[in-house]
Structure 1
């Protein structure tokens, strides 16, 4: 595994899992603490160990938080949970093979307190193999971000995205099973039911939807960092992280293979052809990192502390967050951030071309970064088709030649864009509030163990006229 650390804000992100390895057996870590505030411990086979930033989490661990304790754990399938104060959570089962995600099995037991959970690949690909148990009820998922409260006499949850099904134990609802419990005793809740809660009370033989009583967030409030992490994870970062656990592997086996891939890809994607030609009209010389087209960008980026090195110009992500910004996109080296109050208005029609304003790019070998330059940049967004395409040529002294980073994919209604599975590069981007700017992260495998990575900020040509 390759782990990525962020020092100042106590953040560490799982970014790579070798395909073909089944995690969840023996003592192999199945997750890692990416955020910690206050007191928390893990108990395993009677042995207690204090939790700290970067700590591995194993099957069989019981996570216990104190009255001020908050723990966020990212799992090997890109699942994410937040454990809030005065809570106790057991990682009962976590089986995941990146080559066979549909065979994954997950069971988490919330004995007391509150957790927030965003489903990873194991649950997304095998919903019948994902279960959260409380002392009195079972929760299954429909592809979900939910917040759950539990104690010995109450299970209550709210759904932020997707849906869940809940049922009390008894009859055909077995605590030892993995699949969601169904039948007359169960009830479903979806995010579309605003302010509704789903609950089972002690002694009840059915689950019910209600709007009475405090929500899990009101019972135990989230940490201020929680919303930003989950929003970034769900809106854009999830796909970035999934690509690092073997679910897709863009890039070439060698530089020569990459040249052939470019020729093939250009024949397949019309919008990429147009981006390629648009980039050809730009300078073929390496551009300065900041072209000065936008002196006050809405979208900015920083490097994770693990990659800070001795760079005096290193931009701290924690400082950017404290400047009233929130996560928008993440990749192995960078985090892209935007104003917390951003409300995007995405055009419904037309086409926009963007000019590269600023960038930071490297050739990455393990934890070592070699500075790289960019030429021939182009970004096109077709709002009629909700598609994008981009081209960037990457230059570095160690490369045998120029690397052409190409990608295309869909634009979401909330202004995020992500490359298709057949793209040569992993591309994740976001538009600013009025689509006058775009931020984009890229990651291209030059050869095994060698990647071209970068963060870029673009200006809509319309705003330059």
Structure 2
């Protein structure tokens, strides 16, 4: 009887261990020194939940998940797939958790993740990353994590408050920040002890720290009907790590002879507010173009016509501006808002722009962001209804050759069920 009970106990423990360590993927390519749970990485090897994945200074490891996703480790990296539970009967109950301990890793969401994004979490030692159906790359070293997006969008938060490493799904709150593929050239950075990520432009990203192999897919398509061999992603002849491919920086705008009489930007508040007098009239300088929005007016003065370059990109820094937050309840006072961490990036080749900043009002901080179009005459604007994912504010403004290159726009945003924001920004190159 004792032996029977012992057998049942051992069997139960084995079943529990098996359930807790389900297969999370399979290696489809390994180069250089790689390990899967202290075994040398090899094509076709199963990766169990919780297995520690490591690569040496020359190592690359590609893992295909059961739902045709992709998890890539570049050299000098330690990571694991902590959980990968797919519920085919009820996809919303699926759960996924990836962990990067150090180095550089890339995650491309599989089919099941796209059906249960609310249950996907990618942890670094200092940050939690959630997805909107995404392909992104993360770098972590010492106390700093940086992440860039190839497709889709992510939401990032540092650990603290209600965002904890043991949690699941994205951490969404006042301190979280979003990044989309439309915000090319930007990355989010989180340092230990900081809950709010920083949006950076021109900073060293994961691809610069550890470049991808030349055969790493730019947009991996892992079709379950096709062969799962390495040849699907890596040419059979590629036995040795290819020379690093450094991602080139975005092209700079060709600077022609600046116009002798550039069209300058002027802005102000046309209506008195919070006891302050108006700072601009509704009628601007003779021949000026005008944009009117809420309490603000923006002029582009008369002068030589602005012609947008045909190619290249340029980034602007937030120089000045003003904003107010109003409440639908007239009994609640309007408050002034401060703008921080501003970014405005213009891609002339794509005739598009992206912009983002933190609006601080009272004890609240709001992350405002938008993308839109750039006209050949330097008019910039968007329609949030046409781009619901990449916008939470409407933008209307101008580009200018004055002051070595400048920009300005008036914005409007519905912050929540009760509050709206209206303001104007001024940017310099």
Of Structure 1 and Structure 2, which has the larger fraction of its residues in helix?
1
> Which has the greater radius of gyration?
2
With normalisation by structure 1, the TM-score equals: 0.45
With normalisation by structure 2, the TM-score equals: 0.48
